[in-house]
Amino acid sequence: MGYKTILAVLDTPQNAKQITDFGISLAEQFSAHLIGVHAETLAAVPLIAPMEIPDPAAVQVLQEVAQKETAEVQRIFGELTASQGVSTECRSFMSSAGYGSSSVMETARSVDLIVASQSDPAHADHRADLETFLFESGRPMLLVPYTMKVVQPVKRVLVAWNGSREAARATFDSMPFLKAAESVEVLVIDPPERGDQTPELAGTEIAAALSRHGINVTLTTQQSGGLSASAVIENRLTENSIDLLVMGGYGHSRWWEMLFGGVTRNLLDSMTALTLLSR
């Protein structure tokens, strides 16, 4: 089992190189086809009073800006992939829906893995259309910290496990990474007391299932001790030099709303490791 079709989200020229580099590395690792995707959202067009018709000059300027950004993204992707010997293609879309358009969604829902850059929390604009795209695609998403400019191998993986559907989906969606990793830790935070299971046994079944796949897995059950779940996870990432965090995610209006009852976008705003999300 491996990722055979990987989609690289090239949403801006600023992160196009970063995401292309990571996409190439993954395509080489899994012998996959790499698709670079850039979607432009058509901006609102100024109207001319009193007839309220579109301003032709404004329309032309907006189109030229969008076309310039698309061309730059395509140039970066093309130059980086030209000599790599990897099967690639680049697709560009322009619509009022941006990454939420049906054409982009059709592409996204036909891939094994989506690779995208973490939003820079220093910026107010969190790219709402891209977040909708990631949330609605139905595919696992590998987020790269915006500060991580050099591709790093995934040797140590942390699976944040709470027994939910989303956590199960993320765990098995990450199987190619888990099998290739040197070590995988399943982390259970504040497991609840259940009639059929003591807290100490939480996570044993998923750990056993991963072990049957030949994965070098360990199970850690930890009490938060008054810390938030996100803080516990962040500490674990740092202490164990984790390369990849795997966890389930959900949200009604924002893709970064997480499970564990209170793990929110703070975790991803401060992410230090690659993070794979599924829902």
Task: Look at residue 60 in the predicted model and tell me its pLDDT.
Answer: 63
Q: Where are the domains of the chain?
A: 5-144, 156-278
Class of domain 156-278: alpha beta
Spell out the long-range contacts of 19-26 with Cβ–Cβ below 8 A and sequence spacing 24 or more. Answer: 19/115, 19/116, 19/117, 19/144, 20/76, 20/77, 20/80, 20/81, 21/80, 21/151, 22/115, 22/142, 22/144, 22/151, 23/115, 24/80, 24/81, 24/84, 24/86, 25/151, 26/113, 26/115, 26/142
Mean of the per-residue pLDDT values of the chain: 83
Q: Is the pLDDT of residue 164 over 90?
A: no
Is the Cα dihedral 165, 171, 173, 175 positive or negative? Answer: negative
Asked if 120 and 146 count as a contact pair (C-beta separation under 8 A), the reply is yes
CATH T-level topology, domain 5-144: Rossmann fold (3.40.50)
pLDDT band per the 50, 70, 90 thresholds, residue 250: low
Task: Look at residue 146 in the predicted model and tell me its pLDDT.
Answer: 87
pLDDT band per the 50, 70, 90 thresholds, residue 11: confident
Q: Is the pLDDT of residue 122 over 90?
A: no
Phi, psi of 218, rounded to the nearest 5 degrees:
-125, 155
Task: Look at residue 258 in the predicted model and tell me its pLDDT.
Answer: 39
Return the higher-pLDDT residue of 130 and 18.
Answer: 18
129 CB-near residues (< 8 Å, 6+ apart)? 39, 41, 97, 98, 99, 100
The predicted model gives 15-19 an average pLDDT of 94
Phi, psi of 126, rounded to the nearest 5 degrees:
-95, 25
pLDDT tens-digit readout, 51-99: 556 666 666 666 676 678 889 999 999 999 998 889 999 998 877 677 7
pLDDT tens-digit readout, 187-240: 999 887 665 566 667 889 999 999 999 999 999 998 888 888 888 999 999 999
Helices (H) and strands (E) in the chain, counts: 9, 12
Q: Is the pLDDT of residue 3 over 90?
A: yes
Task: Look at residue 248 in the predicted model and tell me its pLDDT.
Answer: 85
- Residue 277 to residue 169: CA distance in whole angstroms: 9
**Residue whose entry in the numeric block shows the structure tokens 């009852």:** 261
Q: Which of 53-57, 111-115, 255-259, 261-265 has the lowest mean pLDDT?
A: 255-259
The predicted model gives 254-269 an average pLDDT of 49
